[in-house]
Amino acid sequence: MKTRRIFLQKASLSAMALAVPTFNPLSAMTDIMNTHSKDPKTLRVAIMGLGSYGTRVAEAIQKCTRTKLVGVISGTPSKVEDWKVKYNIPAKNCYNYENFDAIKDNPDIDAVYVITPNALHKDQVIRVAKAGKHAISEKPMAVNAADGQAMVDACNAAGVQLLIGYRMHFEPNTLEVIRMRKAGEFGDIRFFQGLCGFVIGDPNQWRLNPELSGGGAMMDIGIYAINGSRYMIGEEPTWVTAQETKTNPEKFKEGIDETITFQLGFPSGVIASCLSTYNMNNLDRFYLNGSKGWVEMHPSTGYGPIKGRTDKGPLDEPIVTHQTVQMDEMAAIIFDGKKPEVPVNGEEGVKDMKIIDAIFKAVKTGEKVQLNLS
């Protein structure tokens, strides 16, 4: 590495010393290496839905090296005007929910990140796909597995990619735990616990409207425990049981779950015991137990920093802005064909939706529901 660095330095000095544009092989080599090391293709993104999370993503993109915010789609004209100024977005890249199909004729936009209420994702992603643009859908990708599969099918038919906003799939401490598990450092996995919840505020927000959210805590915070159990254990569950508790039916109306405890069974015999709630704070914890060791992550899925410890000591991977890493990694997936350690494609999203469908069915019937995620 030292020899290579000295070589490049000499090449650079040689190029600067030349007074005439005579061909210099050392300078040419430097140019070639620089061409391959910089200016990878940039993912030009329009954000659809300019709420709190859309704003968080927009801010994170400002630190990206391979992703650029170039457009907005919103039903609120004042937000569009604010974002145009704040992020220097040209008027021709601004759309509303009625006219955004026109992105088909806009070569400045490569992909649309859909960050709207859950029930809107299906139709919006399908429209994005028909416009010939890659789609990124915030999770959960839809309100049920059938809608999720329709989104996958539409993107496949249009020849575009569908990615899901699984930011934890790129988080360094999470990836280190997955590496340790794959390396056998925890031995045979025996048990997983996922606790996800907080006390939700404004009773009039869209998350408490079943027509927009498709459910309550499960469709918001509970999906982290579902998805986390799969990547922490490294298997796909084959059955689920679930129980619902509702202490405030006025706030948590029909179709909005307040608290659900659920259990997942895996082929190796591992059991996952999880909790999803809108009625308890300080619940953001994963625990994985194996025959040779254990890991606890707390916080496990919050915006950061993620903290954790194993039987061997603390996790101390770099602290990152999750959405910044996610967006640059998605650029590599779309343009370079990069394969992430844990998938973030539409098929991955459909698997989680199948589990959520089964959890709701188990709550309703009181029975163990079999799963087939293949």
3-class state of residue 163 by DSSP: strand
Question: What is the DSSP code string of 162-219?
Answer: EEE--GGGG-HHHHHHHHHHHTTTT-SEEEEEEEEE-----TTSGGG-HHHHSSSGGG
Provide the 8-state DSSP code for 119. G
Q: Tell me the residue ranges of DSSP E strands in 234-307.
A: 239-245, 259-265, 271-277, 283-290, 294-297
In a domain, 314, yes or no: yes
**Tokens 């340790």 map to which residue?**
180
Strand partners, 94: 72
- Helical residues (DSSP H) of the chain, grouped into ranges: 2-17, 25-37, 52-61, 77-86, 121-130, 145-158, 172-182, 210-213, 222-233, 322-336, 346-365
In a domain, 333, yes or no: no
In a domain, 251, yes or no: yes
Tokens of 135: 């789609």
- What are the C-alpha distances in Å from 154 to residues 132, 158, 166, 224, 353? 11, 6, 20, 26, 17
Active site residue 86: no
Among residues 113, 166, 224, 287, which one is catalytic?
224
Please give the Cα distance from 296 to 298 (Å, whole number).
Answer: 6
Find, among 180, 135, 129, the residue nearest to 157 by Cα.
Answer: 129
Please give the Cα distance from 117 to 115 (Å, whole number).
Answer: 7
End position of a domain, from candidates 144, 166, 188: 166
When divided into structural domains, the chain yields a total of 3
* pLDDT computed for residue 374 by the predictor: 80
Q: What is the CATH number of the domain that holds 246?
A: 3.30.360.10
- Residue range of the domain that includes 7: 2-37
How many Cβ atoms from other residues are within 10 Å of residue 96's Cβ?
Answer: 13
Provide the 8-state DSSP code for 345. B
Residue 155 shares a structural domain with residue 224: no
Tokens of 286: 């994963």
What is the full per-residue pLDDT of the chain (374 aa) written as tens digits?
434 333 344 444 343 333 333 334 334 333 333 333 457 899 999 999 999 999 999 999 999 999 999 999 999 999 999 999 999 999 999 999 999 999 999 999 999 999 999 999 999 999 999 999 999 999 999 999 999 999 999 999 999 999 999 999 999 999 999 999 999 999 999 999 999 999 999 999 999 999 999 999 999 999 999 999 999 999 999 999 999 999 999 999 999 999 999 999 999 999 999 999 999 999 999 999 999 999 999 999 999 899 999 999 999 999 999 999 999 999 999 999 999 999 999 999 999 999 999 999 999 999 999 999 98
* pLDDT computed for residue 232 by the predictor: 98
Residue 351 shares a structural domain with residue 316: yes
Among residues 139, 278, 351, 354, which one is catalytic?
139
Active site residue 224: yes
Residue 254 shares a structural domain with residue 276: yes
* pLDDT computed for residue 304 by the predictor: 84
